[in-house]
Every structure is written in structure tokens, then in C-alpha cells.
Amino acid sequence: GGVCGLKALTVSLTKLLVGPSSANINNCHGSCAFPLTNGNNHAILLNSHIESGNADERSPCCVPVAYEALEVVDWNADGTFISIKPDAVARECGCR
């Protein structure tokens, strides 16, 4: 399904948080095979190693590499409170 990139993903938060009921946190999907377009030096070296016949090594994976925070209503024993959750929404993907 194409090269590694960002896709919208709406998840329900009702079991974890008081609010909001759902949020778009995005997710990363797609191929990280040769030729690697959005990898860093480690991913390039790792892919070259795997292409040289080491198929059993973990190959680069399409994952978020930049995030945004999400403002939520969190909870504790004393009630609810507004909280900023860092690194909650994927903003950019890469091969790592």
C-alpha cells in the first residue's frame, strides 16, 4: 500500500480519559523497502545490510517521527483535570 506515510486514525478515548470521547491520533503505514525515501542513516545502513542477504534482521519500520500534543480531560482520585498529553498525535512518518 504505497510508501511509508501518514493516515488519519480516529480512536475512542472513553475507557482511558473523561474527554474528549474520541480523537484523531493518525498512524503511519506503508513500505520501508529499498529504495528508502524517508529513512535516516541508520535505516539506510540497516536496509543495505538486509539487502546483502541478512533477511533475518529486523527491517526498517514505518513509524511516527514527529508528534503533536493533545489536550484532554484526565482524572484522578480527586476528580477531573485538564491535561496536555505530549507525543499523542502523529504528525510525520519515517522509516526507522
Partner 1 sequence: LQQKRRCFFQITESTEHNYRQNKKYTAAGSVSGSVQVCETTDCCVGYYRIINGTPKADVLACDRIEKSCPDETCKAQPRINNQFFTCMCSTDLCNGNITWGK
Residues of the shown chain interacting with partner 1 in the complex, contacts defined by CB under 8 A: 14-21, 71-73, 75-76, 78-83
State the binding string over 34-73 for a copy of itself (x if CB under 8 A, else -).
------xxx--xx-xx--x----xx-xxxxx--x--x---
| CB 26 within 8 Å of CB 91 | yes
**Which string of b and e fits 3-34 if b means at least 16 CB within 10 Å?**
bbbbeeeeeebeeebeeeeebebbebebebee
Q: Is 18 a residue that touches a copy of itself (CB under 8 A)?
A: no
Residue closer to partner 1, measured from CB, 55 or 77: 77
